[in-house]
Amino acid sequence: MARMSPMLELYAAAGAPGLAYGPEQAGVHIAIGFAPFALEYAAIRTGAAALDCPHRGVVVVRGADRHAFLQRMITQDVRGMGEWSIRRGFWLNRKGRIDADLEIIELPPGALPAITGDAACSLLVVDVHAAQRTVETLSAFVIADDVEIEDLSERTHMVQVHGPAACAALAAHCPVGADAVLDLERDRACAARVATPAGPRCTLVTRTDTTGEIGLTIIAAASDARAIYEAISDLPPVPDRPDGALAEPAPGPRRARRIGWHAFNVARLEAGTPLYNVDFGPTSLPHETGRETLLDRVSFKKGCYLGQEVVARMESLGHPKQQLVALRLDTPADAPQPVTGSHVLADPAGQAIGAVTSSAVSPMLSGAVICLAMVKHAHAAAETILWVRPTPDSPPQHARVQPHLASWRRP
């Protein structure tokens, strides 16, 4: 079961509106924003922005047989994963549906001893609502293997730092591991200690660039998360002087601007990063997530794994009924923005052939509306003209299928 973010008091103190992530009863709440959207978004694209991440969960896999076990279970090839390396994969059920979207992190002994123990282990970072199910369904296949699987989501918490200055902003607060953070490459991890008023705190830092900028995830003990968040981030004042200038920054090492979900969501959509339980989910097949996501998560060179027959048959003999695509709309200035569930049409007067999963107004595309949408395969080819009806009562808007899920990439 998901737990509440340790940052909720900070949300309230800042007057930041909140949003339930997933079922209300699960208790996972995220901040929508702390300041005007433009300031938070600019921090992602030009500086460093800190995002609280109660929506992410952690599962640890321990034991001498863990690599062989995971190799038989998940879609990604984990052979040859060195210490501190990261790969992504799917955990499927017997019908080939996606039970979890995994970020697999290989850790050496003692990487995060207070949380994972002293032995080497593999971490699986997942949507927090899929964490317990992942433990239960994977554990059902542990027979005589030296494998132990545990949900650490209650004991850990994650904070992300996004932006071209993310590494520098975090390293400035690391008395131990600063150089490793500064030099961290994409799909790699390192250990670092973050300075807090109560002393340095051990963390695991990973890099996966989900917004099209440098993207760091700090994994720490839940009891340390708030102190770390407050140490590395702050809320710069909104311009209130007559000339529109900001007040002088606080003394000390540079800190990342705290941001909410709105700014992050726009940036990840521009970068074409789909989210599990948002853009696809437990009823989806791997091929329905889009070709780029499929090839990032699925190895077609490895041996058998649960659900492989469905994946292999679709790869060699057919295609999915539907597929996730990116759309760019030609939207009148006064038109409503599509929302999750807005119908996608093959022609203005036709029946729905899909639905929007996420949408945003893109600052990097001069205010164009972009969407991720799940549409029938016959309409998923790049440059296909489609129509999106934002609300049942609004006229359909002209849209074009993009060649990639990413609508924007930094030159």
Helix/strand/coil for 131: helix
Topology (CATH level 3) of domain 8-55+155-241+252-270: Gyrase A; domain 2 (3.30.1360)
Q: How far apart are CA 107 and CA 223, in angstroms?
A: 21
Which pLDDT does position 18 carry in this prediction?
94
CATH architecture of 321-405: Beta Barrel (2.40)
Rounded to whole angstroms, how far apart are CA atoms 56 and 153? 8
Strand positions, DSSP E, 174-214: 188-194, 201-207
CATH 2.40.30.110 maps onto the chain at: 321-405
Per-residue pLDDT of the chain (411 residues; tens, 9 = 90+): 446 899 999 999 999 999 999 999 999 999 999 999 999 999 999 999 999 999 999 999 999 999 999 999 999 999 999 999 999 999 999 999 999 999 999 999 999 999 999 999 999 999 999 999 999 999 999 999 999 999 999 999 999 999 999 999 999 999 999 999 999 999 999 999 999 999 999 999 999 999 999 999 999 999 999 999 999 999 987 655 454 444 455 556 789 999 999 999 999 999 999 999 999 999 999 999 999 999 999 999 999 999 999 999 999 988 999 999 999 999 887 889 999 999 999 999 989 999 999 999 999 999 999 999 999 999 999 999 999 999 999 999 999 999 999 999 998
Confidence (pLDDT) at 379: 98
Q: Are strands 256-259 and 49-52 parallel, antiparallel or unpaired?
A: parallel
* pLDDT for res 1: 45
For residues 247 and 337, what is the distance between their CA atoms, to the nearest angstrom?
35
How many whole angstroms separate alpha carbon 92 and alpha carbon 307? 6
Cβ atoms of residues 126 and 56 within 8 Å: yes
Scan for tokens 């409503």, then name that residue: 336
Which residue ranges does the chain devote to CATH 3.30.1360.120? Answer: 8-55+155-241+252-270
What pLDDT does 236 receive?
A: 80
Cα–Cα nearest to 112, from 157, 142, 169, 66? 157
DSSP letters along 335-359, please?
SPPP-TT-EEESSTTS-EEEEEEEE
Listing DSSP states for 326-340 in one string gives EEEEE--TTSPPP-T
